[in-house]
Amino acid sequence: MQHARILVVDDRPEGRKLLTLRLLQMGHVVRQAESGAQALALAEAEAPDLVLLDVLMPGMDGLQTCRRLREMRALRAVPIVLVTSLDAPEDCVRGLEAGADDFIIKPFNPAELQARVRSLLRVKRLFDESQRQQAALAEWSATLERRVAEGVVEVERLSRLKRFFSPRLAQRLVGDAGDTAWRSHRGEVTVLFADLRGFSAFAETCGVERVMALLAEFHAAMGRLIFEAEGTLERFTGDGMMVFFNDPDPMPDHSAQAVRLALAMQAAARQLAEGWQQGGGPQGVAIGLARGAATLGAVGFEARLDYAAIGPVTNLAARLCAEAGAGEVWVSQAVCDELKGRADLQALAPLQLKGFAQPVAAWRVLAMA
């Protein structure tokens, strides 16, 4: 290790000078202390890479200084070499017990000094590298753990959002914008209600397996069309469903998009109904659409949240669906106004709908331009 910081501790100036000259020749940075107390102060201010410590010093001797240095957290792995004329076995034991790593016996051989310093600094370098690697590994592990936790949360949020939004929109909302999407707010939407005609009678007479298989087939076909149309699926209600458009993703022509979805659902339902009716199944799907302002956002409690549209517009769409027959798409006045010139519409007689004081105007959609 070139340019290592080495602390030389000796009460005798000539002893410090001799060691310092040899170490400077080796390319190291040397700091000198003439007592144990001064050595502790210098080591606390800047931890050295190696300490060469005289044993026989007045006041705090080398063994006491060694013990104090070892108590410093920053010096627990720093090599300490005792420079001493004492070479009895018991002196070596006392030095090792005090925390020393090696000994240099006075008068020292310059080549021996150089070899021992290089060997101990190599050990220190390996220790420092090991510490850096452990720190890097701990940081990497913490980062990985955080990313895994974030990934789990993201997957959970994405899974939850996909229950309501198209996969593309759910992926976008899984970021910070997804949190704001759940907050209650007002907005204009087009609401679509769909319901299977003749399902209740079918369910009463058929086995559970067949009923559930039919529903699974129906939901899969309709769900695929809903997500392709970028609609927000609020819920399945057994043999029916509610979808709305223009929230949370703005859609400039949401009524036309909703009607196109309704017609696509009818086309898909007609194909399914051919097989259903062979076994006395439902006749088809009735669909009602309405446009207007609604309160939008999360409803429920922490363990079970739904993303909902609430207001008279949803009631109107549900009532129109209830009045429509299998294979029909009925729309409100507001939807009709948006479709003028782009759809073939048939006016219906004013409807007296439950929950509405005045007769309601409605139109049957025959085709879209």
Write out the DSSP string of 127-151: HHHHHHHHHHHHHHHHHHHHHHHHH
pLDDT of residue 267: 97
**Joined tokens for residue 32:** 């000198």
- The Cβ-side half-sphere exposure at 126, using a 13 Å CA radius, reads 7
pLDDT of residue 165: 59
pLDDT of residue 160: 61
Could you tell me which residues come within 8 angstroms of residue 165 by beta carbon, excluding any fewer than 6 positions away? 173, 232, 233, 248, 249, 307
In the chain, where the domains are located: 5-132, 167-368
Contact 65, 9 (CB under 8 A): yes
- 101 pLDDT more than 70: yes
301-315 pLDDT, tens per residue? 766 667 789 999 999
- 318 pLDDT more than 80: yes
20-24, 91-95, 354-358: the lowest-pLDDT one? 91-95
If we measure between CA atoms, which residue out of 269, 256, 257 comes closest to residue 228? 257
pLDDT of residue 1: 46
255-272 pLDDT, tens per residue? 999 999 999 999 999 999
Could you tell me which residues come within 8 angstroms of residue 73 by beta carbon, excluding any fewer than 6 positions away? none
Say if residue 315 is exposed, middle or buried (CB neighbours under 10 Å; 0-12, 13-18, 19+): middle
Q: What is the mean pLDDT of residues 58-87?
A: 90
Q: What is the CATH number of domain 167-368?
A: 3.30.70.1230
**Joined tokens for residue 316:** 């109107």
24 phi, psi to nearest 5 deg? -65, -35
pLDDT of residue 235: 82
Residue 165 gets which letter from DSSP?
S
6-20, 76-90, 317-331: the lowest-pLDDT one? 76-90
Could you tell me which residues come within 8 angstroms of residue 80 by beta carbon, excluding any fewer than 6 positions away? 50, 51, 53, 66, 69, 70, 99, 100, 101
Cα 19 from chain centre? 58
pLDDT of residue 174: 60
Pairing of strands 240-245, 232-237: antiparallel
- 137 pLDDT more than 50: yes
Residue 198 gets which letter from DSSP?
T
| Of 140 and 5, the one with more pLDDT | 5
**Nearest-angstrom CA–CA distance, 96 and 63:** 9
Q: Which CATH number fits domain 5-132: 1.10.10.10, 3.30.830.10, 3.40.50.300, 3.40.50.2300?
A: 3.40.50.2300
